[in-house]
Amino acid sequence: MRIGFIGLGIMGRPMAKNLIKAGYELTVCDHHKDVVDDLVSLGARSVENGAAMAKECDAIITMVQNSPQVRAAVLSEGGVLETAKEGLMLIDMSSIDPVESRKIGEELAKKGCRMLDAPVSGGEPKAIDGTLSVMVGGDKADFDEFLPVLKAMASSVTYVGSLGAGNIAKLANQIIVACNIASLAEALTFSVKMGADPNLVYQAIRGGLAGSTVMDAKAPMMIEGNYKPGFRIELHIKDLMNALNAAHAVNAPVPLTGEVMEMFQSLKAYGFEKDDHSALARYYEKLSDTTIVK
Model pLDDT for residues 192-221, shown as the tens digit of each residue: 999 999 999 999 999 999 999 999 999 999
* pLDDT of amino acid 208: 97
* pLDDT of amino acid 192: 97
Q: At what angle do helices 165-193 and 255-269 cross, to 10 degrees?
A: 70
Number of domains in the chain: 2
- In this structure, are residues 100 and 74 in contact, taking their beta carbons and an 8 Å threshold? no
Cα separation of 155 and 158, whole Å? 10
**Domain limits for position 187:** 171-288
Known catalytic residue at 170? yes
Q: Which of 33, 126, 151, 170 is catalytic?
A: 170
Q: Which of 163, 181, 198 is the last residue of a domain?
A: 163
- Residues 75 and 218 placed together within one structural domain of the fold: no
Give the list of residues 6+ apart from residue 263 with CB closer than 8 angstroms, or none.
182, 280, 283
- Residues 30 and 150 placed together within one structural domain of the fold: yes
Task: Indicate whether 224 belongs to any domain.
Answer: yes
pTM above 0.75, yes or no: yes
CATH number at residue 159: 3.40.50.720
Name the burial class of residue 64, with classes exposed (0-12), middle (13-18) and buried (19+) by CB atoms within 10 angstroms of its CB. Answer: buried
* pLDDT of amino acid 190: 98
* pLDDT of amino acid 286: 95
Cα separation of 154 and 177, whole Å? 20
Q: Which of 135, 163, 191 is the last residue of a domain?
A: 163
pLDDT of 294 strictly over 90: no
Beta-bridge partners for 27: 4, 45
**C-alpha distances out from residue 253 to 97, 250, 258, Å:** 17, 9, 9
Task: Indicate whether 293 belongs to any domain.
Answer: no
Q: Which of 134, 163, 192 is the last residue of a domain?
A: 163
